[in-house]
Amino acid sequence: MKCSTKMFVPLNSQLTENHPMVSVSLVTFNHEKFIAQAIESVLLQEVDFSYEIIIGEDFSSDKTREIVIEYQKQYPDIIRLILPEENLGYYGQKIFVQTLQACRGKYIALLDGDDYWTTPNKLQQQVDFLDNHPECTICFHDVTTIFEDKVGLSRRYNDFEPQEFSELENLLKSNFIPTCSTLYRRGLFDEFPEWYCDTVCGDWVLHVLNARHGKIGYINQSLAVYRVHSNGLFSSMRKIQQLKEAIKCYKLLNEYLNFEYNYIIKSEQIYRYLTCLSIYQQERNLAKQQKYRNKLIRNLVKYPLITCTAIIKFIKRSIINRLTVVRWRIKKQRLKLLTHEYSSN
């Protein structure tokens, strides 16, 4: 399915008096409980430049639309709305593209309606970073993940420390850039791939397109919150479905990039085949197990070195995950003992 993917932005477009320095692209759907916090976190930014907020509201069935309209009335010089007359669907990618098309700033910041920024100098830090690092096309920062159904539970978005400067090769191995942490240079490409609206991994594809033109800069501070809840598009998917969507996206990206990064992409696909097989073994789904064994055998014959690389990565990752679980259980047990001792005294 081909959606309207042209960006209508001239390359190297110049900032004018009518164009803000930053456009905040805020996409929302059925975020009645969260959208006000997201908008307020942008309005609280302390900056020495102008910015605009473009809100794409994808025909929610709750009161999200009423809330964003009220905010636009209060801040007509800052907030502009994209209000389709029906839900555009396609994993939210259509409304995402339309919102980006409306952005006029030199830089574009991304935010979903169920996430929020936590510090008033977030935008200023990122703009300063990109201004001072012309070799970078993207700037992102650390993010705290919270779980709506598990009060008090939070963790870092990534389970590793990203490098200060990364490149496209790093990004193809995993999407380590949280959407709500992203600031990038507008106008680096003219059009999304025609298959863009058919994939659920839209933010990752956008990062890949931008990373083709420069480096990725990282600020080692948590400046936003990524919220996991039952209505989240990706977080609400079963793990196996997330893996299948990633495999599909890798295939499309490999073709789009003319197989220039085939070794990395194939390795990551095979790694996910192994993970799918592991899940189906736990579920004792014999038919699915055989399906993914066959995939692995075909890849082993066709790409022996790449497949062996993926297997080694899978084994290492499995060991690390098990050790992490053990450490977490030990920590939890110690906490229980300390709590018991404290209550006894």
Q: Is the pLDDT of residue 334 over 90?
A: no
Query: Which residues span the domain enclosing 85?
Result: 22-228
Whether 141 and 160 share a structural domain: yes
Residue at 332 is within a domain: no
- Same domain, yes or no, for 187 and 294? no
Are 311 and 166 in the same domain?
no
Single-letter amino acid code for the residue at 160: F
In a domain, 330, yes or no: no
| Residue 58 belongs to a domain | yes
> In Å, how far are 98, 195, 255 from 252, measured between CA atoms?
22, 8, 5
Is the same domain home to 147 and 174?
yes
> Which domain-ending residue is among 173, 195, 228?
228
Q: Which pLDDT score, from 0 to 100, does residue 8 have?
A: 46
131 within some domain: yes
Domain assignment of residue 26, yes or no: yes
Q: Domain for residue 343, yes or no?
A: no
Residue 124 lies in a domain: yes
- Closest C-alpha to 110, from 76, 141, 78: 141
Q: What is the pLDDT of residue 234?
A: 67
Q: Which of 228, 259, 292 is the last residue of a domain?
A: 228
Based on the domain organization, do 107 and 211 belong to the same domain? yes
| 110, pLDDT greater than 60 | yes
Of all residues in the chain, the percent with pLDDT exceeding 70 is 89
* Strand pairing report for 154-156 and 165-166: unpaired
> Once rounded to an integer, what is the mean pLDDT over residues 317-326?
82
The verdict on 184 and 45 lying in the same domain is yes
Determine the angle formed by the axes of helices 304-344 and 286-302, rounding to 10 degrees. Answer: 130
202 in the same domain as 293: no
Q: Considering its fold, how many domains does the chain have in total?
A: 2
Residue 302, classed as helix, strand or coil, is helix
> Domain check: are 154 and 283 in the same one?
no
Instruction: Look over the chain and give the mean of its residue pLDDT values, rounded to a whole number.
Output: 90
Q: Which helix (H) or strand (E) holds 116?
A: strand 116-117
Reported as a pLDDT band with limits 50, 70 and 90, residue 266 is very high
Same domain, 221 and 132: yes
Which run of H or E residues covers position 216? strand 215-228
Question: Which pLDDT score, from 0 to 100, does residue 235 have?
Answer: 65
**Which tens digits make up the pLDDT trace of 23-51?**
999 999 999 999 999 999 999 999 999 99
Boundary residue ending a domain (181, 201, 228): 228
Q: Specify if 37 maps to a domain.
A: yes
